Amino acid sequence: MTERPDLDEIDRRILRELQADGRIRINELADRVGISHPNCLRRVRALRSSGVIKAIRATIDERRLGYEVVSFVTIQLESQHQTALGAFEAAIMPLPWVQQCWRISGDADFLLKCVSTGVEGMSRQLRQFAALPGVRAIRSFPSLGQSKDEPLPIPGHGDGAPG
């Protein structure tokens, strides 16, 4: 929320560690990045309150919770006006099985990540999308599994230039 203009190398190291293990102890973290504990604590707090760190959360195995199907869905609306886009977002907001919604450009207006307990659930969801006002086209991409999930590359050591 607050502004935090420039991150130095220490901050970037902190971010790397926190992406690898969000529950790392402040002491351990301070040792790894090479600063004192109090300073490290201050920096972590600043990074969190400034919004550079959006959140620290557990990610859960969908299947172990009974969600057998993860699917991606692109949605194209009939109109790309703010009101139509906003109305769609408002409509999917209360649906708990829509985990993520991204506004995109290209052949569609939204990309959604959905979870369901089975294929019946998935097709029910697609019908529900189709019933929303202003929806022109729906494309569904059931996931067969995730083959890569890496933290954000953080420039500054040997992480490879981002391009």
Partner DNA sequence: TGTGAAAGAAAGTCCAT
Partner DNA sequence: ATGGACTTTCTTTCACA
Which partner, its own copies, DNA, none, binds residue 52 by CB below 5 to 8 Å per kind? Answer: its own copies
CA dihedral 106, 112, 113, 117 (to 10 degrees): -130
Which partner, DNA, its own copies, none, binds residue 1 by CB below 5 to 8 Å per kind? Answer: none
Q: Cβ atoms within 10 A of the Cβ of 86, count?
A: 10
- Choice between 28 and 159, CB closer to DNA: 28
- Choice between 28 and 78, CB closer to DNA: 28
Q: Give the three-class secondary structure for 113.
A: strand
CB of 5 to DNA, least distance (A): 9
The DSSP element (H or E) to which 88 belongs, if any, is helix 82-92
- Choice between 38 and 151, CB closer to DNA: 38
CA triple 105-162-157, angle to 5 deg = 155
Contact positions with DNA (CB under 7 A) in 18-47: 25-28, 35-39, 41-43
The DSSP element (H or E) to which 158 belongs, if any, is none
- Count of residues that bind DNA according to CB under 7 A: 13
Where does this chain bind DNA (CB under 7 A)? 10, 25-28, 35-39, 41-43
